[in-house]
Amino acid sequence: MRIQAAVVEAPGGPFTLRDDLVIDSPRSDEVLVRIAAAGICHTDLSSRQKWPRQLCPMVFGHEGAGVVAAVGDGVTGVRPGDNVCLSYRSCTTCGQCSAGHPAYCETGIFALNAGGTRPDGTSPLSRAADGSTVYGSFFGQSSFATYALAHTSNVVKVPADLPPAVAAPLGCAVQTGAGTVLNVLRPPRGSSMAVFGAGSVGLTSVMTAVAEGCRVIAVDPLAARRDKALKFGAVAAVDPTAVADVGAAVRDHAGGGARFAIDTTGQSGVISQAIAALGQRGTLALVGVGGRAEFDIMTVLTKGIRIRGVIEGDADPAAFLPRLVDLYREGVLPLDEIITEFPFHEIEDAARAAAAGEVVKPVLRFP
């Protein structure tokens, strides 16, 4: 079947809309989804900059939502016509998946989600003219397209009346922010938490932690994002460009030191600030994708700090996404207030706005 997709032809290149792609029919364990909305995540933008040339042209997108168009003969969980949200892919059978931690799938989260192909090395996408390969299967979906081919492990049924623009970011950004609080840190009511970076993941963490009864301090250089954090219930919002010692500023607001901190930036300097912001025996969750980080080991040792890496909120999407839907409907997660919708053909404008910090969570809407 021919589809339209946003194709990155070379590393660092733009998203170019192409109408000449063909998508495979679903295999036994696959689900074909007509995409209604797709969130743009930092991972999409950073991946297109450093994606291997040998895996181009490539279709990204990993926060898809839409309607099931067709299923393989081995699929039992969803059927054509169901509204679904797409998340990350896992093997479903290894020790971690069986224990309820598919984000740490022993097959390798990157092998299944960021290889540009299915596990067998094939891509479900090709060019109509000559059959040449277009790489995809990004997070088991490649949802920057009118149709995406997903796997049974990363398709979650959602209510038909849930707005597609809200459903889309549940599978990554919202799951990561809320899951880090609820599944990993599990803060006691009344405890203090510092959130570094008030993008979609950070603001979701703020919303969730406030609902759990935490005193939340947000740190972000953008005034609009600090204002949102305060609107969502943070007790303070620190501008890291306006204070000499960010850690000290957070500690002052947290009564001597935060018990928990979340870094959503993946930046070495910010991680050091987060460590400095913690009190004795505090816990830091690292959720931002980045490179190498350097920090003062003696500070970590003498304060007894625990550092925990977190992928996808340590969430099992099949169980956790319905919970997020409930939290949205209860008003705990006012996601509409961080979402800005763009028509699919304006994907480059949406990507630019996201990179510039002009919007928090851009979501593409499909005709």
pLDDT at 229: 98
Q: What is the pLDDT of residues 260-270, one digit of tens each?
A: 999 999 999 99
Q: What local confidence, expressed as pLDDT, does residue 295 receive?
A: 87
Q: What is the pLDDT of residues 303-317, one digit of tens each?
A: 999 999 999 999 999
Lowest mean pLDDT among 101-110, 113-122, 161-170: 101-110
Distances (CA, A) of 330 to 195, 198, 327, 355: 23, 22, 5, 31
Separation CA 89–CA 141 (nearest Å): 9
What's the confidence (pLDDT) of residue 293?
86
pLDDT higher than threshold 90 for residue 216: yes
70 pLDDT more than 90: yes
| Of the candidates 326, 339, 323, the residue with the CA atom closest to the CA atom of residue 179 | 323
Per DSSP, the residues of 158-208 read: --TTS-HHHHHHIIIIIHHHHHIIIIII-PPTT-EEEEE--SHHHHHHHHH
pLDDT digits (tens, 9 = 90+) for 278-294: 999 999 999 998 878 88
Could you write out the DSSP letters of every residue in 222-252? -HHHHHHHHHTT-SEEE-TTS-S-HHHHHHH
What Rg do the C-alpha atoms of the chain give, in angstroms? Answer: 20
Work out the angle between the directed axes of helices 246-253 and 268-277 (0-180°, nearest 10).
40
Report residue 207's pLDDT band, with 50, 70 and 90 as the boundaries: very high
Tokens for 101, please give them: 């931690």
Phi, psi of 324 (to 5 degrees): -65, -40
Q: For position 144, what pLDDT does the model report?
A: 98
pLDDT for residue 296? 86
Give 141's pLDDT tier (boundaries 50, 70, 90).
very high
Count the neighbouring beta carbons within 10 Å of the beta carbon of residue 328: 20
Nearest CA to 148 among 179, 132, 131, 171?
Answer: 171
Mean pLDDT taken over the chain: 96
Instruction: Give pLDDT, residue 108.
Output: 75
The pTM score is: 0.95
Task: Tell me what pLDDT residue 142 has.
Answer: 98
Greater model confidence, 213 or 298 = 213
Tell me what pLDDT residue 199 has. 97
Map out the domains of the chain with their CATH numbers: 2-157+334-365 (3.90.180.10), 174-312 (3.40.50.720)
Structure tokens at 348: 């480059």
Class of residue 256 by CB neighbours under 10 A (exposed 0-12, middle 13-18, buried 19+)? exposed
Question: Mind listing the pLDDT tens digit for each residue in 2-58?
Answer: 999 999 999 999 999 999 999 999 999 999 999 999 999 999 999 999 999 999 999
Scanning the chain, the segments in alpha helix (DSSP H) are 42-50, 95-98, 109-113, 164-169, 175-179, 200-211, 223-231, 246-253, 268-277, 297-303, 317-329, 347-355
Give the residue-averaged pLDDT of 170-197: 98
Long-range pairs for 291-297 at CB < 8 Å and ≥24 separation?
291/266, 292/268, 293/266, 293/267, 293/268, 294/268, 295/268, 295/271, 296/272
Q: 367: which 2 tokens?
A: 């005709």
pLDDT at 176 (0 to 100): 98
Strands 83-86 and 64-71 turn out to be antiparallel
Contact 41, 63 (CB under 8 A): yes
Band (209; pLDDT cuts 50, 70, 90): very high
Summarize pLDDT for 83-110 with one digit per residue, the tens.
Answer: 999 999 999 999 999 999 999 999 877 8
What percent of the chain stands above pLDDT 90? 95
The residue among 275, 279, 277 whose CA lies nearest residue 296 is: 275
Q: To 10 degrees, what angle do helices 200-211 and 223-231 make?
A: 20
Distance of alpha carbon 200 from the chain centroid: 8
Please state, in angstroms and rounded to a whole number, the distance separating the CA atoms of residues 117 and 55: 9
Instruction: For residue 201, name the pLDDT band (cuts at 50, 70, 90).
Output: very high
